[in-house]
Structure 1
Amino acid sequence: MILVLDFGGQYNQLIARRVREAHVYCEVHPSSLTLDAIKDMAPKGIILTGGPQSVYKQDAQTAPKELFELDIPILGICYGSQLMAHVLGGKVETAPVSEYGRTDVTIEDRSSILFKNVSPKTVVWMSHTDYIAAVPEGFTVTAKTENCPVAAYENPAKKLYATQFHPEVLHTAEGTKMLDAFVREVCETAGSWRMDSFVEQTVTALREKIGSGKVLCALSGGVDSSVAAVLLSKAVGRQLTCVFVDHGLLRKNEGDEVASVFGESGHYDLNFIRVDAKERFYAKLKGVTEPEAKRKIIGEEFIRVFEAEAKKIGAVDFLVQGTIYPDVIESGLGASAVIKSHHNVGGLPDYVDFKEIVEPLRLLFKDEVRAAGRELGIPEYLVARQPFPGPGLGIRIIGDVTEEKVKIVQEADAIYREEVDAAGVGKTLGQYFAALTNMKSVGVMGDGRTYDYAIALRAVMTSDFMTAEAAEIPWPVLTKVANRIVNEVKGVNRVLYDCTGKPPATIEFE
């Protein structure tokens, strides 16, 4: 096992993801973890993450010198590299020139285990205002950039390594080679961990945690909640009741599709309840235009519906949700900034009438969730399903939500997905959907003037949903989609395509 000590950076869980990709088990724990706890865990290696602070400030997160004397290989990344230098007697100061984004780096020591398979000059991702002015005694500099004299340094005898840049992000061209070298060669791991291990361990842990308790699962029918439901089904069987809340904000025909998979005639031996709460959600959302307010309302209504269903079936001990890591980090838990509240994380109300909330997928990225689903035997058409946010079309409708607007975006989205799939380009995309803007514009249809809504089409390339690039959908496909939407969807006279990446945008509109 590789232990990641979290100092509050935005990319911390990406480190764990990269380690898992090397088939080595990895856990993320807070930087406050005690030395005794670390010794008990007996990790094969430790990675210190990035973070937003300056190591020389009085209130900065730190680590004891004894951490570096445990005879356990350590890799410090960004803040972690500065912390290692600071604690071991080096100098960390405010950089004369800050570095952000893609940066050219020169490898100074090709004999370093970290860089032996890396090009002499390569591209890395920098994000720092401080820099290491002097490395500790016994360490050598192994890489530099034009503005950063210590882009990497190490003490191989003590198995201590550090990079000022972020090898875990995709923008670091050969970062995977560097992390693999540390995890597999420096830490001497076998690389034998697979997703089936995660599934097996999670099922066992859920069974032990829940015991004889009753469980209520928030089932949306999307990939995340479906995988969570099947995990729980394998763990506790009929102790599980899955509640599917049809809030009237689903994609076209989606409610019936979910019921056909998980209901009595479906694939799984589940207690399945479908709740038609459309009117309840529309009433709560009436006149609400602010995105965070919509998310909070939808999140609270979900919980209230679940509470009501729980009372019908008797005492319920646990609420299970399909929360995944991008939901957690964007909701601003821990040291990260709030980007947007997810209805099952930052959108939860203060009072929830359950003993405990269980989130078995909380530390997984979307592609890892899909891999877990395949290990569980979930049908491919469901595992590969397009991501759909818990708040549904409520956050794909800019402005207030009405039944008329929901109908418009349902029809437009169905046309878009149908044509993208028919053209054979859907499998290469991370996510694609249609959203309804709050903009009306003048158009002409037949010989008459129109003043109707504009639909925005979105398609992105991404694997981890933390960053994304706008996809280049073939122009003939886009024109066919636009023509069909304008001709077939009442209330729309204009179709736009969103070319923005993440960042600066998010994948969803609100």
Structure 2
Amino acid sequence: MDVKAFINQVVEAIKRVPLRCALAAVSGGVDSTTSAVLARLALGDRLRAVFMDTGFMRINEPQSVRDALRDLLPLEIIDLSNEFYSSMMGLADAEEKRLRFRETFYNALSRIARDYGCDYLVQGTIAPDWIETKGGIKTQHNVLEQLGIDTASKYGFKLIEPLRELYKDQVREVARELGIPSLIINRQPFPGPGLSIRAVGRLTLEKLELVRRATAIVEDELSGMGLSQWFAAAWEDDSSFNDDLSRAIRNYGDLEVELFRVRATGVKGDSREYGGIALVRGHVKSWELIYELYDAITTRSNVTHVIYELTRRGRGGYFVSIRAVETQDFMTAEVPRLGRELLMGVAQKLMRYDEVSAVGFDVTPKPPATIEYE
């Protein structure tokens, strides 16, 4: 891709749009930030950039994003956490969470755009977003027109999506050319619904706050390793023994398999699978074998994620999963071969929280899992 030519083409195309004002919803990720910077080059002060704090962000995230972009893109933080909590707390189904988030998100954006007098919205939709949504794998909140949603009549604005045909690695090329800070370019992708879909199953404030704190530990401990994405997720530590799947992995060591009550998204073939989460507990013959467990289990069941248990105690209530992947385009992803000592160190720090009863490491690539759990 000729990056400079692409930038010039996009800027000129946006200049030709007959608009009064454009609103850019910036999350701090490379997609939304790059889209907003492109639009600002074309529109100048006719672009209003906002960071919507949904309450599902990481610790101090709104402020850190605004500070990182201070010299490039004036950013206004709008606290909408109470609105999102009121709308989403208590939801348990993964797709329902994403759909409710989308509804709340765009209703809020519609109100903000109306207050500012903006008739266009700039957003960072990229190719994997609409491919996964149209394919039925999972609904990405920023996919609208591709589903036939008329945003002008429904929300009062039209869309500008300058990156919708690009993949993540291409977006990063454009961002580097635009001079976007490396902190943003190399910032690992963060889902639109944020931590709400990493608090797997029924969404509660207690679970959300645990995920927020666990995420800070995992991101800090696994940073600088060249990973594409690494984070924590949590759910109720409620599982039951499965004899068939335990027999399927008997050659790997002294192991047993349990299935959690909660479920998680995956992809098998070209379609979405909302299946089980398997927990493998016990001693493997060799550490490298943990990375083969998923195949023996997912090919025999509707399990979408396989997790190897690192540590457990008799109190707590929540299971925390460490998730890490390596990928170029986020359409497929591999699990990095991380060492036992490293992962045990992370697990011990997570176990400092009284709510945590066990910690494991997700060993499932995409496919058959998705990178996120919901």
Structures share fold, TM-score greater than 0.5: yes
| Structure 1 position 410 matched with structure 2 position 206 | no
Q: How many residues align?
A: 300
| Deviation (angstroms), 1:441 | 7.3
| Deviation (angstroms), 1:311 | 2.3
| Structure 1 position 467 matched with structure 2 position 270 | no
Q: Which residue, out of 471, 477, 499, partners 2:363? A: 499
Alignment of 1:30-179 (within 5 A): none
TM-superposition CA deviations, 1:110-145 (whole Å, max 9, x none): xxxxxxxxxxxxxxxxxxxxxxxxxxxxxxxxxxxx
In structure 2, C-alpha distance between the alignment counterparts of 1:507 and 1:317, rounded to whole Å: 34
Structure 2: stretches of 5+ with no match in the other structure = 241-310
Other-structure match for 1:129: none
| Structure 1 position 304 matched with structure 2 position 169 | no
| Structure 1 position 226 matched with structure 2 position 33 | yes
Contact (CA 8 Å) 2:141, 2:192: kept in 1 or not?
A: yes
TM-superposition CA deviations, 1:439-466 (whole Å, max 9, x none): 3479976xxx414101111111110111
In structure 2, C-alpha distance between the alignment counterparts of 1:483 and 1:218, rounded to whole Å: 37
TM-score by length of 2: 0.76
| Deviation (angstroms), 1:394 | 1.1
Contact (CA 8 Å) 2:55, 2:80: kept in 1 or not?
A: yes
In structure 1, C-alpha distance between the alignment counterparts of 2:148 and 2:79, rounded to whole Å: 21
In structure 2, C-alpha distance between the alignment counterparts of 1:304 and 1:395, rounded to whole Å: 20
Q: Which residue, out of 267, 273, 278, partners 2:71? A: 267
Which amino acid is the alignment partner of residue 482 of structure 1? A
| Structure 1 position 476 matched with structure 2 position 280 | no
Alignment of 1:307-386 (within 5 A): 307-314=110-117, 316-332=118-134, 337-345=135-143, 352-386=154-188
Alignment of 1:240-259 (within 5 A): 240-259=47-66
Which amino acid is the alignment partner of residue 253 of structure 1? N
| Deviation (angstroms), 1:490 | 3.5
| Structure 1 position 438 matched with structure 2 position 241 | no
In structure 1, C-alpha distance between the alignment counterparts of 2:193 and 2:229, rounded to whole Å: 16
| Deviation (angstroms), 1:239 | 0.3
Other-structure match for 1:98: none
| Deviation (angstroms), 1:261 | 2.9
The SS at the match of 1:311 is: helix
In structure 1, C-alpha distance between the alignment counterparts of 2:68 and 2:114, rounded to whole Å: 25
TM-superposition CA deviations, 1:192-249 (whole Å, max 9, x none): xx2121112111111112x452101111111111111111111111100112110110
| Structure 1 position 293 matched with structure 2 position 96 | yes
TM-superposition CA deviations, 1:38-73 (whole Å, max 9, x none): xxxxxxxxxxxxxxxxxxxxxxxxxxxxxxxxxxxx
Contact (CA 8 Å) 1:243, 1:306: kept in 2 or not?
A: no
Contact (CA 8 Å) 1:441, 1:452: kept in 2 or not?
A: no
In structure 2, C-alpha distance between the alignment counterparts of 1:348 and 1:404, rounded to whole Å: 37
In structure 2, C-alpha distance between the alignment counterparts of 1:486 and 1:344, rounded to whole Å: 35
Q: 1:295/1:342 Cα in 2 relative to 1: closer, same or farther (>3 Å)?
A: same
Other-structure match for 1:458: 323
In structure 2, C-alpha distance between the alignment counterparts of 1:240 and 1:291, rounded to whole Å: 34
Q: Which residue, out of 3, 6, 16, partners 1:208? A: 16
TM-superposition CA deviations, 1:390-421 (whole Å, max 9, x none): 11111111112222211111111111111112
Q: 1:348/1:243 Cα in 2 relative to 1: closer, same or farther (>3 Å)?
A: farther
| Deviation (angstroms), 1:349 | 6.8
In structure 2, C-alpha distance between the alignment counterparts of 1:401 and 1:371, rounded to whole Å: 36
In structure 1, C-alpha distance between the alignment counterparts of 2:96 and 2:73, rounded to whole Å: 37
- Which protein is bigger by CA-based radius of gyration? 1
The SS at the match of 1:319 is: strand
The SS at the match of 1:331 is: helix
Contact (CA 8 Å) 1:318, 1:355: kept in 2 or not?
A: yes
Which amino acid is the alignment partner of residue 307 of structure 1? S
| Percentage identity across paired residues of the two chains | 41
Contact (CA 8 Å) 2:133, 2:139: kept in 1 or not?
A: yes
Other-structure match for 1:391: 193
Q: 1:493/1:431 Cα in 2 relative to 1: closer, same or farther (>3 Å)?
A: same
Q: 1:369/1:490 Cα in 2 relative to 1: closer, same or farther (>3 Å)?
A: farther
Q: 1:324/1:495 Cα in 2 relative to 1: closer, same or farther (>3 Å)?
A: same
User: 1 or 2, which has the higher helix percentage?
Assistant: 2
Structure 1: stretches of 5+ with no match in the other structure = 1-19, 21-193
RMSD: 2.0
TM-superposition CA deviations, 1:275-316 (whole Å, max 9, x none): 1111111111122111111101111111111112122222x1
In structure 2, C-alpha distance between the alignment counterparts of 1:362 and 1:281, rounded to whole Å: 26
Other-structure match for 1:147: none
Q: 1:456/1:375 Cα in 2 relative to 1: closer, same or farther (>3 Å)?
A: same
Other-structure match for 2:85: 282
Which amino acid is the alignment partner of residue 84 of structure 2? F
Q: 1:329/1:444 Cα in 2 relative to 1: closer, same or farther (>3 Å)?
A: closer
In structure 2, C-alpha distance between the alignment counterparts of 1:420 and 1:240, rounded to whole Å: 36
In structure 2, C-alpha distance between the alignment counterparts of 1:479 and 1:242, rounded to whole Å: 42
